[in-house]
Amino acid sequence: MNKEIRIQDDLYAYVNQEWIDKAIIPDDKPMTGGFNTLVTEVEELMMKDFSLMNKGKLAIDNEYMKQAIALYRVALNTKKRNQDGLKPALKVLNMINKLQDMGQFNRKLKDLFINDLPLPFKMGVDVDMKDSTQHCLMLMGPTTILPDTTYYKENMAQQKEALLGVWTQMVTMLLEKTPLSKEEQTLYISDALQFDQIISTLVKSQEEWSEYTKAYNPMSLRKVSGLFKPIKLRKLLTVLFGENIPSQIIVAEPRFLEGFATLFNEQNFLLYKHWAYIKFLIGSSTYLSEELREIASLYSRTLSGVAVVPTIEKQAYNLASNMFSEPVGIYYGKKYFGEDAKKDIIEIIEEIIATYKDRVSKNDFLSLSTKEKAILKLDKIVVKAGYPDQTDQVYDKMIVNVRSSLLKNVMELEKITFLHNLEELNKPVDRTKWVMPGHMVNACYNPTSNDITFPAAILQAPFYSFKQTRSENLGGIGAVIGHEISHAFDNNGAQCDENGNLNNWWTKEDFQQFEKKTEDMIEQYDGIELPWGKVNGTLVVSENIADNGGMAVTLEIMKHMPNASYKEYFINWARIWCMKARENILKLLLQVDVHSPAVLRANMTPRNFQEWYDTFGVTKDDRMYIEPNKRIIIW
């Protein structure tokens, strides 16, 4: 802790500054500290195991892990990767290049689609937000080259130019490796940028995506097909689903669909083709030679400010542990996470839910009927902690071909998971499925199943430990648990009922009051100036509501606890947000991340609570003070 900084002025710096001053961000990472330190530790631990298993020095206990290790081995084979160079990608690149017109495109559409090749739209199967026992088909636009549509606005012109400059430099180097002539290379780049520019006018910004309930726009297949004209959508769906073709499609981005004709038409066909060629070239280069991989990472490394490409060993581990995420998470959980810890965590979660219910029942802004519905929703929350008992069936189909190139393997495995996802369309939703694997340092609330997930990897210090005091654990994992529960009642979650269906369970007056509180929360953060930019209060509001709720419920538990130490609570709260990051990534996150910057999560949340003022004697002369009438507690 830093004795020169007063805790009353800056809790975050008081707790973390000394560590931050000394910390060194790993060359191949954009940040370190808190969550990120745990991510690196899990990575190091698991990389050792992968290496031992690959060398036959550690037994592999199941078929799924055998396949994960096989993929790891294929990725590690730099000799083959370097010898092959661009070759494994050429077949697809040539296929894209030979597309002459819309007719040919439509004839190839199924192949393009199931192989996840670049298309002017994206489509997949998701849980139906209105009936969360069923699936639906969801349609959206492609992603832009720049990380968000806001980068295409005039006030960002400088950044836009700089970033697209780096992108162009990278693509130029990649295209030089292809059979295209110099003139063609130049044309492909300018066409791709032109196509991307049109996409940016149609798709949603991150701020728009952050209101996820607005992605639910059911439209009849007839209407969607009409707007999708040059693409034979009905034909594609018939080939994919046979007679069970859906009569309606959920359009996540209505503006995109309405304007689709301006993007994809006979005149723009070459723009599309050249855009798709480059997009596939960048994506596939990651899995090709060391040289191509390094070039292809230039743009993403610039975005996050990272100078060095991760080693091949790291790439091999991360690829295998993502592709086989569930079995790898189960392996991690069984080996490194104790049953005692799991039992303890579930008890803590249950206590927090019980306290949450108590707080809702005493809440002074809701009417009785709304309170009852909120409590029902809390009663129905399903808790997932540690790792799942079962492995998803998709992994039975995922077989690695060790003789094949890495790219071919990755494409085949992705195709298997994609087809598996499509097959779900006419099947009921399996609520026992986990959305995060055991080795992931994160936690989440799933609105369509009303469940919360805490993977094994987050259930360690500083979030949680037998060695920490109960107050420290409450300021760490306790507040995170309360945060995830609060997502059931943030500006999005509040629109879904106890079964995870979009359904209004509020009285009109209660919801108006809630919306007013949401507005206050937007205002509390909006426009806060940090050395690297300004906060967009609307983008981060749901996460701030969740942080606020997580602190409210854990402080309530502290109130009834013998030997509660608020000092330990707040200090550990600040510790979990410790972060040292490169400036580029900080700027990027400000534009695209729905979470507030770590320093604000640590420093803004406490000042809404009287306990903060009482514990450290914070007065209006201190920097971490806000007027009592500006303090917000929602849940």
Q: What residues are labeled active site? A: 484, 547
Give the binding range for Zn ion (CB under 5 A) out of 242-250, 537-545, 565-573, 583-591. Answer: 537-545
User: Between 510 and 543, whose beta carbon lies closer to Zn ion?
Assistant: 543
User: Between 498 and 543, whose beta carbon lies closer to Zn ion?
Assistant: 543
User: Between 546 and 599, whose beta carbon lies closer to Zn ion?
Assistant: 546
Give the binding range for Zn ion (CB under 5 A) out of 164-172, 340-348, 543-551, 577-585. Answer: 543-551
SS3 451: strand
- Cβ neighbors of 407 (< 8 A, separation 6 or more) are 88, 89, 284, 287, 288
CB 588 to Zn ion: min, Å: 19
Give the binding range for Zn ion (CB under 5 A) out of 122-130, 205-213, 223-231, 535-543. Answer: 535-543
Alpha-carbon gap, residue 135 to 133, rounded angstroms:
7
CA angle, 237 then 243 then 246, to 5°: 55
User: Between 276 and 378, whose beta carbon lies closer to Zn ion?
Assistant: 378
User: Between 485 and 546, whose beta carbon lies closer to Zn ion?
Assistant: 546
SS3 534: strand
Task: Yes or no: say if 289 and 85 are a contact pair by the CB < 8 Å rule.
Answer: yes
CB 16 to Zn ion: min, Å: 21
Give the binding range for Zn ion (CB under 5 A) out of 378-386, 423-431, 539-547, 550-558. Answer: 539-547
Give the binding range for Zn ion (CB under 5 A) out of 19-27, 123-131, 230-238, 545-553. Answer: 545-553
Kindly list the strands in the beta sheet with 122-127, ordered across the sheet, starting from the edge strand earlier in the chain. 122-127, 135-140, 248-251, 218-220
User: Between 316 and 541, whose beta carbon lies closer to Zn ion?
Assistant: 541
| Interactions with Zn ion, residue window 293-352 (CB under 5 A) | none
For residue 356, count CB atoms less than 10 angstroms from its CB and return exposed for 0-12, middle for 13-18, buried for 19 or more.
buried
Closest to 591 in 3D by CA, of 163, 33, 192, 16:
163
CB 483 to Zn ion: min, Å: 6
CB 543 to Zn ion: min, Å: 5
Task: Locate 218 and state its tokens.
Answer: 């059911």
Give the binding range for Zn ion (CB under 5 A) out of 53-61, 116-124, 455-463, 540-548. Answer: 540-548
User: Between 278 and 546, whose beta carbon lies closer to Zn ion?
Assistant: 546
Alpha-carbon gap, residue 9 to 13, rounded angstroms:
9
Give CA separation, 102 vs 162, 197, 241, 314, in Å. Answer: 34, 21, 23, 41
Cα-flanking dihedrals φ and ψ of residue 205, to 5°? -85, 165
Task: Locate 28 and state its tokens.
Answer: 């191949």
Closest to 226 in 3D by CA, of 195, 261, 250, 202:
261
User: Between 289 and 446, whose beta carbon lies closer to Zn ion?
Assistant: 446
User: Between 84 and 543, whose beta carbon lies closer to Zn ion?
Assistant: 543
Interaction between residue 271 and Zn ion (CB under 5 A): no
CB 545 to Zn ion: min, Å: 9
Size of the site for Zn ion (CB under 5 A): 2
CB 106 to Zn ion: min, Å: 42
Task: Yes or no: say if 386 and 408 are a contact pair by the CB < 8 Å rule.
Answer: no
Strand partners for 534: 529
**Helix or strand (DSSP H, E) at 378:** helix 368-379
Task: Locate 596 and state its tokens.
Answer: 């507030």
Residues listed for the chain: 635
Interaction between residue 546 and Zn ion (CB under 5 A): yes
Quick one: angle between helices 325-336 and 312-323, nearest 10?
A: 100
CB 10 to Zn ion: min, Å: 24
Q: Please name the residue that has the structure tokens 């600040």.
A: 574
Q: Please name the residue that has the structure tokens 């975005």.
A: 303
CB 443 to Zn ion: min, Å: 8
CB 550 to Zn ion: min, Å: 9
CA angle, 509 then 510 then 513, to 5°: 90
Interaction between residue 555 and Zn ion (CB under 5 A): no
Q: Where are the beta strands (DSSP E) in 325-458?
A: 382-386, 444-446, 451-455
Residues that bind Zn ion (CB under 5 A): 543, 546
